[in-house]
Structure 1
Amino acid sequence: MRSELDLELVSLTKRYGDTVAVDAITHLFHAGTYACLLGPSGCGKSSTLRMIAGHESVTDGAILLGGRDISRLQPALRGTAMMFQSYALFPHLTVAENVAFGPRMRGVDAKTRARRAAEMLDLVEMTALSDRLPAQLSGGQQQRVALARALITEPQILLLDEPLSALDPFLRVRMRAELRKLQRKLQITFIHVTHGQDEALALADEIVVMNDAKIEQAGPTRDVFEAPATAFVARFLGSHNVIALPQGQIAIRADELRLRPAEGARLQGRITAVEYQGTHVALTASVAGNQDVTALLTDKDFFGAPKDVGEAVGLDWDARAARALEA
């Protein structure tokens, strides 16, 4: 069932001269969804986000919010807000002044914008630092201020352009949990651009995988991960092997592969690498067709019958674990 806050891209296209950055993509984002646009650099995901925000012009196609075409409206009139990768805070303004800047530019009176800024800072747990300048904040604190500044406009859709990329790995994990918690509390649509598979899997209700200016596959996060449709999606999501067999190409999750004696196994090869990863061991083998495949074993299974580089090995899997891939 359609909602008045659903966002729909209809044959959305962006060209820069002869270069096609986004190639006639069509997709419906349901209201209240946390969606991740996932893909490698240059695939078109940031251009798509910027067109939704109004920071990039649309070459062809339309952007519909609740059935209304917003693709030619100014950014402030779209019902969207964008949080940039760099956070783009004003260095000479305090935290509170940064958050209140948007309402100030729209002529909101001082008392109202101060109250709204205080509410937003409370939402992102930054009230105690409201008088500080951006240079006096950590990366995570700056991100919270940027979020508050975007949310004070009361957007129907929040657009996030690689918002975690500037953070260290530990803080990145912590902040993605905060983003998810905030989205659930606000119940508005978040569209988040990332090239990090772990980030998308941890955050998103829905993943839209982009490749070469097109949507390669889209759907609920677990569905896309469990059943990649193409070799690109299987490889990009990680944790999958793409294996060419005489009857076609299949994807098998690394944790679904089992070690067997070489004789009688579906695949035979030689171990080329063994990597200890704490709770798991990743074992890579070279098999027929000069293909590398990786099996992810529990540390208990591996150390119960350890293997070494150069050993012959067989690899097998349950029939249900193999996913046929599109040509």
Structure 2
Amino acid sequence: MRSDLDLELVGLTKRYGSTTAVDAITHLFPAGTYACLLGPSGCGKSSTLRMIAGHESVTEGAVVLGGRDVSRLPPARRGTAMMFQNYALFPHLSVVDNVAFSLRMKHVATSTRRARALEMLDLVDMTQLAERLPAQLSGGQQQRVALARALVTEPQVLLLDEPLSALDPFLRVRMRGELRRLQRELGITFVHVTHSQDEALALADQIVVMNDAQIEQAGAARDVFDAPATAFVARFLGSHNVVALPDGMAAIRVDALRVTDAPDAPLQGHVTGIEYQGTHVALTAQVTGKQEVTVLLTDGDFFGAPKDAGEAISFVWEAAAAHPLRGGGRTNQMKPNGEYTT
């Protein structure tokens, strides 16, 4: 059942001259969803976000919010707000005035807009720094101000363009939790662009994997991770091996492979790499058909029966762990070494 606040993309296309950045994508974001557009650089995810926001014109198709086609409306009249990657704070304005700026442009009374801005700053735990300038803030604090400024207009949909990319790893993890908390408290739709698989899995109710200007796969985060549809999705999400089996290509999670001494194991080869990662060891091997696979072993399992580079090794797995992949897939495919072909 559709809600009055659903966001829908209908045949959405963006062309820059002869280059197609977004190719006729259609997708429904249910109201109140935290969705991540995930994919490599150049796949079309940021162009899609900017078309939703109104910062890029739509070549063909439509952006529909709450049953209303907003494709030709200016950003301020769409019911959306955007938080930019570089935060785009005004350096000469205080924190509270930065947050209140859009209300000032709408000629909201000074007392009202200040009260609303302080309410948003309280939501992101920044009230105590309301009179500081952006240059006096850390990166994480600037991000909170940018978030408060985006939320002050009470949007139906908040759009976030790589909002965590400028933060250090520790703060990035902390801010993931803050974003998720805010989305749940506010109950509005968040559409978040990222190239980080960990970020998408940690945040999203729904993941939309983009590749070569189209949607490769979309669905609940756990469903997409557990059942990737194509080799591209399996490899891009990580934690999967893509292997050729007698009955076709399949994705097998790295934690589903088991080392075995069985002479008839379906994958046999030799160890090419060993990486200690604290709680586990990532062991890489070249196996049947010159395929490269990775298996995660607990540190106890590995050091109880250690392997060396060049040593023979074989793998087995439960039948249900091999998820069949559909054929096809477009250009811009990922190689096993993480590079892309076009």
Q: Please report the TM-score for the alignment, with normalisation by the length of structure 1.
A: 0.99
* Residues in 1 aligned to 2:41 and 2:226: alpha-carbon distance in whole angstroms: 24
Contact 1:262 1:269 (C-alpha < 8 Å) held by counterparts: no
* Residues in 1 aligned to 2:135 and 2:270: alpha-carbon distance in whole angstroms: 54
Aligned to 1:253: 253
| One-letter amino acid of the counterpart of residue 241, structure 1 | N
Aligned to 1:128: 128
* 2:69 equivalent to 1:69: yes
Which SS does the other structure have where 1:289 is aligned? helix
* Residues in 1 aligned to 2:304 and 2:5: alpha-carbon distance in whole angstroms: 55
Which SS does the other structure have where 1:309 is aligned? coil
Deviations 1:261-315 (A, max 9, x none): 1611111000000100000100000012211100011111111111111110111
Is the deviation greater in 259-268 or in 201-210? Answer: 259-268
* Residues in 2 aligned to 1:125 and 1:173: alpha-carbon distance in whole angstroms: 17
**For 1:191-206, what aligned pairs fall within 5 Å after superposition?**
191-206=191-206
Contact 1:266 1:316 (C-alpha < 8 Å) held by counterparts: yes
* 2:232 equivalent to 1:232: yes
**For 1:12-27, what aligned pairs fall within 5 Å after superposition?**
12-27=12-27
Contact 1:250 1:325 (C-alpha < 8 Å) held by counterparts: yes
Aligned to 1:315: 315
Q: CA RMSD in A?
A: 0.6
* 2:157 equivalent to 1:148: no
Deviations 1:179-208 (A, max 9, x none): 000100000000000000000000000000
Aligned to 1:53: 53
How far has the Cα of 1:246 moved from its partner?
2.9
* Residues in 2 aligned to 1:275 and 1:262: alpha-carbon distance in whole angstroms: 24
- Structure 1, unaligned runs of 5 or more: none
Please identify runs of 4+ aligned residues in structure 1 that moved more than 2 A: none
Q: Please report the TM-score for the alignment, with normalisation by the length of structure 2.
A: 0.95
* 2:269 equivalent to 1:269: yes
Which SS does the other structure have where 2:159 is aligned? strand
Aligned to 2:300: 300
| One-letter amino acid of the counterpart of residue 64, structure 1 | V
Which SS does the other structure have where 1:28 is aligned? strand
Contact 1:259 1:314 (C-alpha < 8 Å) held by counterparts: yes
| One-letter amino acid of the counterpart of residue 69, structure 1 | D
* 2:41 equivalent to 1:44: no
How far has the Cα of 1:247 moved from its partner?
2.1
Aligned residues: 327
Which SS does the other structure have where 1:100 is aligned? helix
Deviations 1:61-84 (A, max 9, x none): 011111110000010000000000
Deviations 1:146-186 (A, max 9, x none): 00000000000000000000000110000011000010000
* Residues in 2 aligned to 1:294 and 1:109: alpha-carbon distance in whole angstroms: 61
Contact 1:262 1:268 (C-alpha < 8 Å) held by counterparts: no
Which SS does the other structure have where 1:9 is aligned? strand
* Residues in 2 aligned to 1:101 and 1:193: alpha-carbon distance in whole angstroms: 25
Which SS does the other structure have where 2:255 is aligned? helix
How far has the Cα of 1:316 moved from its partner?
0.6
* Residues in 2 aligned to 1:191 and 1:282: alpha-carbon distance in whole angstroms: 33
| One-letter amino acid of the counterpart of residue 247, structure 1 | D
Percent identity of the aligned residues?
77
Which SS does the other structure have where 1:295 is aligned? strand
* Residues in 1 aligned to 2:310 and 2:263: alpha-carbon distance in whole angstroms: 16
Deviations 1:13-51 (A, max 9, x none): 000000000000000000000000000000000000000
* 2:99 equivalent to 1:88: no
Aligned to 1:285: 285
Contact 1:262 1:313 (C-alpha < 8 Å) held by counterparts: no
Aligned to 1:171: 171
* Residues in 2 aligned to 1:66 and 1:121: alpha-carbon distance in whole angstroms: 28
Is the deviation greater in 255-264 or in 317-326? Answer: 255-264
Which SS does the other structure have where 1:255 is aligned? coil
Which SS does the other structure have where 1:256 is aligned? coil
* Residues in 1 aligned to 2:67 and 2:79: alpha-carbon distance in whole angstroms: 13
Which SS does the other structure have where 2:182 is aligned? helix
Aligned to 1:112: 112
* Residues in 2 aligned to 1:264 and 1:279: alpha-carbon distance in whole angstroms: 30
Which SS does the other structure have where 1:103 is aligned? helix
Which SS does the other structure have where 2:295 is aligned? strand
* Residues in 1 aligned to 2:232 and 2:149: alpha-carbon distance in whole angstroms: 37
| One-letter amino acid of the counterpart of residue 271, structure 1 | V
* Residues in 2 aligned to 1:151 and 1:68: alpha-carbon distance in whole angstroms: 21
How far has the Cα of 1:245 moved from its partner?
2.0
| One-letter amino acid of the counterpart of residue 68, structure 1 | R
